[in-house]
Structure 1
């Protein structure tokens, strides 16, 4: 889709009110050498919307998130946050925009050398320069929001189960009151019951903050539960998107094969033969 300078889609009738998406990726390209990962990706996430991007390994999901966060520089294309183009921002403006984000990393990605409360408060202390005692109070409050007792704050990540580590990572993601939260494979490595607990917590925390959520996963149970809308990425492009209620009747053979986990279909896995 093409857009005017004010962010209005080309073809919109004059006088029509169109809300600016919280996040808009347009014609995004990213390659590593000869390997093309993003190949003209277009994606919009509305304000307070929960969008889940599904797709197999190596289809570009994580690279898309890293480009949106500025951790990777896209080769070309547009990344707009609240209508502001971010691909050419200087350091100070980049830091200002990044304060809008929270992130739950795949595998939790906690700092082993820091107690739980400092992990949760890391962005408050390092990014917002909050006093340590004040940051600890916020950390304990956020731990309570994800169902963890005050005593957990003094433990180290190695003393926690996988499910508890995910809860701590979620507490860290919401600690700075972000406007946008990215969830990278939030249920990976968890048993089905704990995965469902994490899904419920994600829904609750996003709703309490009024935040926009963009999640990437291949866990269809999670996608169905936390999404307002689902998009599928394949070979670096979004090939289908729609309300979660329409996923089973998408009419797209790639989507149908993926959500039902079928080996036969248009998606062919590369298998190495001896």
Structure 2
């Protein structure tokens, strides 16, 4: 798959001092495919995502996006890659100093030099895509609920019509019902764009709904990788313990605080 993959990771390692977080990650995301990386806290999900985005530099290995090597890439190459990507951050990460529509239009105005009025019209349309009306366009993000902030964050992620979407724990911090709304919107927006998606999550309900394929990260490596339809029948005790939420099992859990 690596020849046609939108995102391809090969033997990616990352350590912080003596702590080896990633110990040889291999993963492909095909065009139009949605892949969820699952795993417990501290297993390296966020580090993997940050390496793909260029926020961290791997100690070794290759990360290609659209066939272009990103490890050691020039700032211009990385900026070009990011201009074709959208990101929904864990806490929505909206700019408090900007109105809702300005947040959604940020990439259009700052990244593409679009005139504000045209960008505002697109922002209103993207807000409608995530079920929010034009009445909130001039509101401050701080005045919105957590679920509404997530939807604004999703509208911002899709505003530039990217062909790659990244989702960082998209349902964290919101109630299960709003989480399901966000999951449905992610599926809808990803399909409408025809984009590929990489999601990191520990929420199995979210992974089941938004992913075509699931990769489980444990002790720095992908220990299971397969279609979401096969996770319940997979013969992998680590995966089964994780999806069932059992304390007993082969996973080396950090339970010292209990």
TM over 0.5: yes
- How far 1:33 moved relative to its partner? 1.1
Is residue 135 from structure 1 mapped to residue 119 from structure 2 by the alignment?
A: yes
- Per the alignment, residue 25 of structure 2 pairs with 41
| Stretch deviating more after TM superposition (126-135 or 152-161) | 126-135
Q: 2:59, 2:251 → 1: CA distance?
A: 26
- How far 1:271 moved relative to its partner? 3.0
| Structure 2 length-normalised TM | 0.97
**Structure 1 gaps, min length 5:** 1-7, 10-18
- How far 1:162 moved relative to its partner? 0.8
Structure 1 residues 46-67: Cα deviation after superposition (integer angstroms, max 9, x where no partner): 1000111110000010110111
- How far 1:272 moved relative to its partner? 3.1
Q: 2:77, 2:93 → 1: CA distance?
A: 26
- Per the alignment, residue 145 of structure 1 pairs with 129
- Per the alignment, residue 270 of structure 1 pairs with 254
RMSD: 1.3
Q: 1:273, 1:71 → 2: CA distance?
A: 30
- Per the alignment, residue 77 of structure 1 pairs with 61
Q: 1:192, 1:158 → 2: CA distance?
A: 21
Could you say which structure has the larger radius of gyration?
1
- Per the alignment, residue 180 of structure 1 pairs with 164
Residues 252, 114 of structure 1: alpha-carbon distance in 2 compared, 3 angstrom cutoff: same
- How far 1:268 moved relative to its partner? 2.5
- Per the alignment, residue 47 of structure 2 pairs with 63
Q: 2:257, 2:56 → 1: CA distance?
A: 33
- Per the alignment, residue 206 of structure 1 pairs with 190
- Per the alignment, residue 235 of structure 2 pairs with 251
- Per the alignment, residue 219 of structure 1 pairs with 203
Secondary structure at 2:37 match in 1: strand
Secondary structure at 2:10 match in 1: strand
- Per the alignment, residue 96 of structure 1 pairs with 80
- Per the alignment, residue 14 of structure 1 pairs with none
- How far 1:122 moved relative to its partner? 1.1
- Per the alignment, residue 216 of structure 2 pairs with 232
Secondary structure at 1:102 match in 2: strand
- How far 1:269 moved relative to its partner? 1.8
**Structure 2 gaps, min length 5:** none
Secondary structure at 1:111 match in 2: coil
Secondary structure at 1:80 match in 2: strand
Q: 1:23, 1:268 → 2: CA distance?
A: 29
| Stretch deviating more after TM superposition (84-93 or 153-162) | 84-93
Secondary structure at 1:154 match in 2: coil
Secondary structure at 2:119 match in 1: helix
Secondary structure at 1:106 match in 2: coil
Structure 1 residues 233-266: Cα deviation after superposition (integer angstroms, max 9, x where no partner): 0011100011111000111010000000000011
| Structure 1 length-normalised TM | 0.91
Residues 73, 204 of structure 1: alpha-carbon distance in 2 compared, 3 angstrom cutoff: same
Q: 1:231, 1:270 → 2: CA distance?
A: 21
Secondary structure at 2:232 match in 1: helix
- How far 1:273 moved relative to its partner? 5.8
